[in-house]
Chain A
Amino acid sequence: MLPALLVLALIAVVLAAPVVLRAARVRRAAGRARVTRPGEDLAALDYDPGRERRAEQRARQLLRSCVNEEEWEMYRDLGFIRVAGSGQQRRGAAARRRAADRAAAPPDPADIPPYAYLLYPHKPVVAFVPADGRLLSEYCVEFPDLTGVGRSRLPASDDVLAKWMALTSDESRVIGQANMHLVGRQLDPARVRRDLWRLAEWERRRAGSQEARRA
């Protein structure tokens, strides 16, 4: 009887060994991850949805106070902002005067910038040609907080504002810092084209309602 029980116990140990070893390996790997990435654990413990929501509300207010009315409404309605490339600024003074003089008139081709950017929160900046909607490239850029531990991502609207400030003030610097790829690495080109179509529709409706208000 005893030898039979011993044999059964031995078989049970042999069968259970792989399961026990696998569990031990998983636990050891988790322990290593805890040791090597303490900031992530702190971030997870530090995460407060209420605080994040309040931060995003403050960020939206700040964004609204910095960009112009059109850009704010674009972000509010569409979730992104379009910024003209600096080619517009170089030849800009005369074009801006013309634009101010005839704000209600249809856009003159001379006022259309040679290229522009779409700024999405926490996604790459997309460069495109406004005249024909051709997608040029995507610039992967982020604004990580290097000063403290814990969360390192800005609220969504702050991320857009950081991109907006960096591009409108020092375009070559921020583009120089970014990793450039063809469109499609992180963003779906079909989705970007759909966003450009949404933007065109939005501008058409907005121009129509502004004209109606004036009449």
Chain B
Amino acid sequence: MKPGYGEVLISEGDPRVREDEERLIAEFRRQLDEGMWAAVPTSTPGSGRRQALMVHDYSDVPPEAERVIFFPRAAGG
């Protein structure tokens, strides 16, 4: 998420392909180093309930995740 632009695609690839995964990891770290938070939208089968999973490391990303959303970290307003 970016002010003035909304959703911006940062990087995409197949994590099962080594080169893609390295690129995804590098971008993931760069975003977190810039102070962003990362979350993966998830759903609970059967209930229709949806929620997000905050990820602090690339290894925390569920294998079935289709996307990771980076957004500015929260601050007191």
Q: Are B39 and A155 in contact (CB under 8 A)?
A: no
Q: How far is the CA of A184 from the CA of B43 in the complex (A)?
A: 34
Q: Which of A2-10, A30-38, A141-149, A194-202 touches B? A: A141-149
Determine the distance from Cα of A46 to Cα of B43 in the docked complex, in whole angstroms: 38
Listed in ascending order, the chain A residues whose CB lies under 8 Å from chain B are: 46, 48, 51-52, 54-59, 61-62, 65-71, 96-97, 99-100, 124, 140-147, 150-155, 157-158, 161-162, 164-166, 168-170, 173-174, 177-179
Known contacts A124-B77, A161-B1; decide if A99 and B6 are in contact (CB<8 Å): no
Interface residues on B, range: 20 to 34
- Residue pair B41, A178 in contact (C-beta under 8 Å): no
Given A67-B50, A68-B43, A144-B72, are A178 and B77 also a contact pair (CB < 8 Å)?
A: yes
Chain A hits for B72, CB < 8 A: 143-146, 154, 162
Q: Which residues of A contact B3 (CB under 8 A)?
A: 145, 150-155
B residues sitting closer than 8 Å to A (CB atoms) are 1-7, 34-37, 39, 41, 43-44, 46-54, 69, 71-77
Q: Which residue of A lies closest to B37 (CB)?
A: A166
Asked if A178 and B76 sit within 8 Å, CB to CB, the answer is yes
Q: Which of B37, B43, B53, B77 has the most CB of A within 10 A?
A: B77
